[in-house]
Amino acid sequence: MRKIVVVGSLNMDMVFRIPAVPKRGETVMGNGFFMNAGGKGANQAVACARQGAIVRMVGSVGSDVFGDELVAELKQSGVSVDHLRRIPGTPTGTALILITGNDNRIVVAAGANGETSCGQIDLALADANPDDVYLTQMEIPYETMKYGLAAAKAKGMYTILNPAPARHLDGDVLNHVDLIIPNETEAEHITGIPIGNPRFAKECITRLIGEGVREVIITLGPDGCAYGNRTAVRFVPAYPVKVVDTTAAGDTFVGSIAVAIASGASVQDALPLANAAAALTISRLGAQCSIPDTPEIEAFLHRMEEIGR
CA distance 236 to 254: 15
Homologous superfamily of 4-10+38-93+113-308: Ribokinase (3.40.1190.20)
Length, in residues, of the chain: 309
Per-residue pLDDT of the chain (309 residues; tens, 9 = 90+): 799 999 999 999 998 989 998 999 999 999 889 899 999 999 999 999 999 999 999 999 999 999 999 999 999 999 999 999 999 999 999 999 898 887 888 898 999 999 999 999 999 999 999 999 999 999 999 999 999 999 999 999 999 999 999 999 988 899 999 999 999 999 999 999 999 888 999 999 999 999 999 999 999 999 999 999 999 999 999 999 999 888 899 999 999 999 999 999 999 999 999 999 999 999 998 889 999 999 999 999 999 988 874
* Residue range 117-166, pLDDT digits in tens: 999 999 999 999 999 999 999 999 999 999 999 999 999 999 999 999 99
Amino acid at 216: V
Strand partners, 302: none
* Residue range 238-268, pLDDT digits in tens: 999 999 888 899 999 999 999 999 999 999 9
State the CB neighbour count (10 A cutoff) for residue 123: 13
Q: What is the pLDDT of residue 106?
A: 87
Amino acid at 110: A
Rounded alpha-carbon distances, angstroms, from residue 11 to 42, 72, 102, 106, 267: 8, 13, 22, 12, 28
In the residue annotation, 251 being an active-site residue is answered as yes
> 231: which residues sit within 8 A by CB, 6+ positions away?
none
Q: Select which of 64, 132, 245, 251 is catalytic.
A: 251
Strand partners, 84: 59
- Pseudo-torsion of CA 156, 161, 167, 168, nearest 10°? 40
CA distance 58 to 121: 7
DSSP state of 183: B
CA distance 292 to 252: 8
